[in-house]
């Protein structure tokens, strides 16, 4: 019986030649142009209550290439251009299913520079990757090996704001298999003082990656603000310097979260977290920077896809569950629990660490969800008023 392998993207840095960089830059520009043209055409048709699908936009692309003003589209590989039309079709599919907002036009300065190639647009042989319209293979830094005998199904080339070039190859990875089942379960409470607090009592320190480079970042941003706006070389250099600092911060943060989530998935069969709406929480301006630096949304995303890979379960408890105000020993609900209270004593005599108690309550609630299949959503009103959740506490903090 055939085994269903998990498809996984392997990302590497590469160093293009001047000719390759120029070719890829032209491709990025053409991809952006085709996407915007197709989006404009579909938007105009939408105002007339006419739906335009991928096949129609593909026919439009053929017609655009025959015009004098868009003849430059013939200079790059047609594969990335077709792929961007497929991406636009996916964006509209999500929009019609109410899973996403209406697609937006791509900006030359702010949108991600990338191009996707399918098997007809690249050649991969003996560890050498050559893209369409290029004579020489890319100079890739193989920081880790691809799976034995792996053949990429798609290749995505991108350039970040710091000027670094990356290639991402989507391959089947036979090494990803469900881990042996275990009885271990853990509740995880995220925070700012400590990044994670586990129901076992363990606390993971918050590295505060952005704070470590804040002085360098502020200096670089001041230098950028002094440059004359426009396309001058000095302003581009200053912008690139700021981007490199941001990239350094993001790389450290991502590496730390990968290590944490991998460890949690390996050690536990069930992981219970709180269903936080981070996009609403960052509206609290005094705490927005700290919340963004903690990257709770990225932590959850990494945790969920790794759990799916390895046969683990991630349970998200309703955000209105009063985990901090509920005594994990006797179940008594406290009327108030200000954010500055880090330890408290219940009427039953049990002294709690606020975060550890919350993690224990999340674990108990999550296991109840797993057992009965019902959501955890307590009554909104109590004798002492509405339950105060982590989100509400953060919003109210001055």
- What is the per-residue pLDDT across 161-171, written as a single tens digit (0 to 9) for each? 999 999 999 99
pLDDT at 84 over 70: yes
Answer whether 213's CB lies under 8 Å from 192's CB.
no
Pairwise CA distance, residues 116 & 166, whole Å: 12
CA distance from start to end of the chain: 61
> Residue 232 — very low, low, confident or very high, per pLDDT cuts 50/70/90?
confident
Lowest-confidence range among 73-77, 247-251, 260-264, 376-380?
A: 376-380
Highest average pLDDT, of 22-31, 142-151, 351-360, comes from 22-31
Confidence of residue 4 (pLDDT cuts 50, 70, 90): low
Residue 324 in this model has a pLDDT that exceeds 50: yes
Cα dihedral 320, 324, 327, 329 sign:
positive
3-state secondary structure the chain: CCCCCEEEEEEEEECCCHHHHHHHHHHHHHHHHHHHHHHHHHHHHHHCCCCCCHHHHHHHHHHHHCCCCCHHHHHCCHHHHHHHHHHHHHHHHHHHCCCCCCCCCCCCCCCCEEEEEEHHHEEEECCEEEECCCCCCCCEECCCCCCCCCCCCEEEEEECCCCCEEEEEEEEECCCCCCCCCCCEEEEEECCCEEEEECCCCEEECCCHHHHCHHHHHHHHHHHHHCCCCCCHHHHHHHHHHHHHHHHHHHHHHHHHHHHHHHHHHHCCEEEEECCCHHHHCCCHHHHHHHHHHCHHHHHHHHHHHHHHHCCEEEEECCCCCCCCECCCCCCECCCCCCCCCEEECCCCCEEEHHHHHHHHHHHHHHHHHHHCCCCCCCCCECCECCCCHHHHHHHCC
C-beta of residue 43 within 8 angstroms of C-beta of residue 167 = no
pLDDT at residue 343 tops 90: no
For residue 203, what are the β-bridge partners?
197
Other CB atoms within a 10 A radius of the CB of residue 388 amount to: 20
User: What's the token pair of residue 362?
Assistant: 């999340």
User: Comparing C-alpha atoms, which of 191, 144, 145, 138 is closest to residue 167?
Assistant: 138
- The per-residue pLDDT for 336 is 82
Evaluated on CA atoms 329, 372, 393, 356, the torsion sign reads positive
Q: Are strands 165-173 and 6-14 parallel, antiparallel or unpaired?
A: antiparallel
Residue 109 clears pLDDT 90, i.e. is over it: no
**pLDDT average, residue stretch 141-154:** 90
Query: Of the ranges 246-250, 332-336, 383-387, which is most confident?
Result: 246-250
pTM confidence score: 0.83
Mean pLDDT, range 318-333, rounded to an integer: 83
Of the pLDDT bands very low, low, confident and very high (cuts 50, 70, 90), residue 3 is low
Report d(CA 352, CA 342) in Å as an integer: 8
| pLDDT (mean) for 354-377 | 76
CA distance 29 to 70: 12
Q: What is the pLDDT of residue 372?
A: 63
Give the separation between CA 320 and CA 343, rounded to whole angstroms. Answer: 21
pLDDT at residue 301 is higher than 60: yes
Look-up of token digits 């998200």: 316
Q: Is the pLDDT confidence value at 373 over 70?
A: no
User: Please, are residues 57 and 42 in contact by the beta-carbon 8 Å criterion?
Assistant: yes
The CA distance from 115 to 303, in Å, is: 28
Residue 203 or 338, more confident: 203
Mean pLDDT of the chain: 87
Give catalytic residue positions.
Answer: 189, 274, 355
């Amino acid at each position: 019986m055939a085994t269903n392998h998990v498809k996984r993207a392997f990302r590497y840095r590469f160093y293009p030649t001047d000719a390759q960089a120029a070719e890829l830059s032209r491709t990025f520009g053409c991809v952006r142009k085709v996407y915007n043209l197709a989006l404009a055409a579909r938007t105009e048709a939408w105002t007339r209550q006419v739906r335009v699908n991928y096949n129609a936009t593909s026919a439009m692309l053929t017609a655009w290439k025959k015009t004098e003003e868009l003849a430059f589209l013939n200079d790059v590989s047609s594969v990335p251009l077709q792929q961007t039309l497929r991406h636009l079709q996916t964006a509209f599919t999500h929009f019609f299913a109410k899973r996403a907002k209406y697609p937006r036009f791509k900006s030359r300065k702010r949108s991600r520079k990338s191009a996707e190639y399918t098997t007809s647009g690249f050649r991969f042989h003996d560890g050498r990757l050559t893209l369409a319209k290029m004579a020489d293979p890319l100079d890739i830094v193989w920081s880790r090996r691809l799976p034995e005998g792996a053949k990429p199904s798609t290749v995505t080339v991108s350039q970040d704001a710091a000027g670094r070039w990356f290639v991402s190859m989507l391959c089947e990875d036979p090494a990803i298999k469900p881990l042996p089942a275990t009885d271990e379960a853990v509740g995880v409470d995220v925070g700012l003082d400590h990044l994670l607090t586990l129901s076992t009592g363990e606390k993971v320190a918050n590295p505060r990656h952005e704070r470590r480079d804040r002085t360098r970042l502020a200096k670089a941003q001041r230098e950028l603000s002094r440059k004359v706006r426009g396309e001058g070389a000095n302003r581009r250099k200053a912008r690139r310097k700021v981007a490199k600092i941001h990239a350094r911060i993001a790389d450290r943060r991502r590496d730390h979260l990968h290590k944490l989530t991998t460890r949690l998935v390996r050690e536990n069969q069930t992981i219970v977290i709180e269903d936080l709406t981070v996009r609403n929480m960052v509206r609290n301006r005094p705490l927005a920077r700290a919340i963004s630096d903690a990257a709770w949304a990225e932590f959850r995303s990494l945790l969920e896809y790794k759990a799916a890979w390895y046969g683990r379960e991630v349970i998200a408890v309703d955000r209105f569950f009063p985990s901090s105000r509920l005594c994990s020993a006797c179940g008594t609900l406290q009327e108030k629990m200000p954010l500055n209270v880090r330890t408290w004593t219940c009427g039953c005599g049990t002294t709690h660490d606020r975060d550890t108690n919350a993690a224990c309550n999340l674990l108990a609630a999550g296991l109840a969800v797993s057992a009965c299949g019902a959501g955890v959503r307590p009554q909104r009103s109590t004798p002492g008023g509405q339950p105060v959740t982590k989100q509400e506490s953060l919003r109210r903090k001055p």
